[in-house]
Amino acid sequence: MNSAATKAVINPVYRKRLMVHRVGIALSVFAMSIGLAFLIWILGTLLYKGFGALSVDMFTHDTPAPGSEGGGLINAIVGSLMLVGLSTAISTPIGILAGIYLAEYGEENKVASVTRFVTDIMLSAPSIVIGLFVYALYVAHAHHFSGFAGTIALALIAVPVVVRTTDNMLRLVPNSLLEAAFALGAPRWKVAMLVRLRAVKAGVVTGVLLALARISGETAPLLFTALNNQFFSADMNAPIANLPVVIYQFAMSPYDNWRSLAWGGALLVTFSVLALNILSRTLFSQKIPN
């Protein structure tokens, strides 16, 4: 050991900082271990009780009547796919175009600043508040629950996620790439759409998938908008079955069959969201060009 290293070891200030560093690392590892332990506990319980409820009937039969045996969740599965699919179709173009506008003109006018501020508020707003908002503006005037109301509520939750992700990704594109496109005489809209957006298309797709994962398990806004339907229905202008609300209602019921189906539905939603997150972080990962 050289003299400099020896002085560093016996230096009381260095030893104090080293001790603080080790304590901080130990506390961080301890906190992470607690979080992982609860996560493993939750997933283990879900797997144990959820796999027992998985069957062919779950994917081929409608939700059962109270007190009856058998049944499935096909009406809720189809209803959730319709709600989430239509919400994604609405929120994706709106969110991407708004993100492009913020990235291109975010520093030039007050409208973009207000838009970014409202987006940040909507990102942190409780989903039940958005559900009540749609209920007051749509359901209360239509005098009935509907799939369209649920679609609007889920789209309002997904839009800010897509906007923020698109805005952040577009800001990572190097100025040299944009300057090269402008030097070739390309107009600003073409640079934004064909150069800047194309350079980060994988990151934008990731944002869309994350928004899709976010709205897949939302229950509170659907309680005030789409509600539920015990029977199979593809009518979006009427109450429609969906997995989150069915899981909530079945889990609170006194019937063992319903609670078993609730565990199976919870397992299905959990693994669907997990698959979307893994897909967004692996297949669509992309490096920003230099």
Mind listing the pLDDT tens digit for each residue in 207-216? 898 899 889 9
Task: Give the model's confidence band at 287: pLDDT under 50 very low, under 70 low, under 90 confident, else very high.
Answer: low
> In this structure, are 192 and 69 located in the same domain?
yes
Q: State the chain's mean pLDDT as an integer.
A: 88
Residue 267 has pLDDT above 90, yes or no: yes
Shared-domain flag, residues 130 and 47:
no
Q: What is the 3-state secondary structure (H, E, C) of the chain?
A: CCHHHHHHHHCHHHHHHHHHHHHHHHHHHHHHHHHHHHHHHHHHHHHHHHHCCCCCHHHCCCCCCCCCCCCCCHHHHHHHHHHHHHHHHHHHHHHHHHHHHHHHHCCCCHHHHHHHHHHHHHHHCCHHHHHHHHHHHHHHHHCCCCHHHHHHHHHHHHHHHHHHHHHHHHCCCCHHHHHHHHHCCCCHHHHHHHHHHHHCHHHHHHHHHHHHHHHHCCCHHHHCCCCCCCCCCCCCCCCCCCHHHHHHHHHCCCCHHHHHHHHHHHHHHHHHHHHHHHHHHHCCCCCCCC
Same domain, 42 and 113: no
Domain that holds residue 37: 3-51
Q: What is the pLDDT of residue 9?
A: 58
146 and 226 belong to one structural domain: yes
pLDDT of residue 8: 54
58 alpha carbon, distance to own chain's centre: 25
> Is the residue at 156 inside a domain?
yes
The Cα 258–Cα 209 span in angstroms is: 30
Are 46 and 61 in a shared domain?
Answer: no
Question: Does the residue 271 lie in any domain?
Answer: yes
Among the listed residues 284, 258, 278, 275, the one whose alpha carbon sits nearest the alpha carbon of residue 76: 258
DSSP state of 225: T
66 and 135 in a single domain? The answer is yes
Residue 134's CATH number: 1.10.3720.10
| Position 111 pLDDT exceeds 90 | no
What is the reported pTM?
Answer: 0.86
Is residue 33 located within the same domain as residue 82?
A: no
Judge whether 290 lies within some domain.
Answer: no
Same domain, 24 and 82: no
Specify the number of domains making up the chain: 2
Is 7's pLDDT higher than 60? no
Amino acid at 91: S
For residue 10, the model assigns a pLDDT of 62
Same domain, 160 and 24: no
What pLDDT, in 10s, does the model give residues 186-226? Answer: 888 888 888 888 888 888 988 898 899 889 989 999 999 99
pLDDT, one tens digit per residue, over 45-103 is 999 999 888 889 999 999 998 888 888 999 999 999 999 999 999 999 999 999 999 88
